[in-house]
Amino acid sequence: MKLVLVTAVEEFEKEVLKIFKKANIENFSSSDIDGYKNSPALLMASSWFSGEKSGNESTMFFSFTNKEKIDDLFILIEEFNNNLETNNPLKAIVVPVERFI
């Protein structure tokens, strides 16, 4: 069993749900998060008040699942990112789970 985490900007939430379904990952959770980039020029240019920092509304999805489903998920995410026209690709990581109840 492994833990997979996927982050996406809010605009891609429906697409991520479709990707999870295609990968046969039926049990997962999500949480709203704010995504930030630490580029000072980007932060200064994106805010009306230069001292104000704001993040992009994003969603983090996570699931405890098996390796085969994660392999399928990564293939689907790579396909999605390869056809992306914005600079906001889906990000995914896998964390091994040593123990669980």
CATH number at residue 37: 3.30.70.120
Q: Between 13-22 and 67-82, two packed helices, what is the crossing angle to 10 degrees?
A: 140
pLDDT above 70 for 70: yes
Flag whether 101 is in a domain.
no
pLDDT above 50 for 48: no
Number of domains comprising the chain? 1
What own/partner pairs with CB < 8 Å and gap ≥ 24 does 52-56 have?
56/9, 56/10, 56/88
Q: Give the confidence band of 54 by pLDDT, cuts at 50, 70, 90.
A: low
Q: Answer whether 0.75 is exceeded by the pTM.
A: yes
Flag whether 22 is in a domain.
yes
Q: How far is CA 84 from CA 5, 79, 96, in A?
A: 20, 9, 29
Query: Which residue segment(s) compose the domain that 35 sits in?
Result: 2-96
Flag whether 70 is in a domain.
yes
CB burial of residue 2 (10 Å; 0-12, 13-18, 19+) = middle
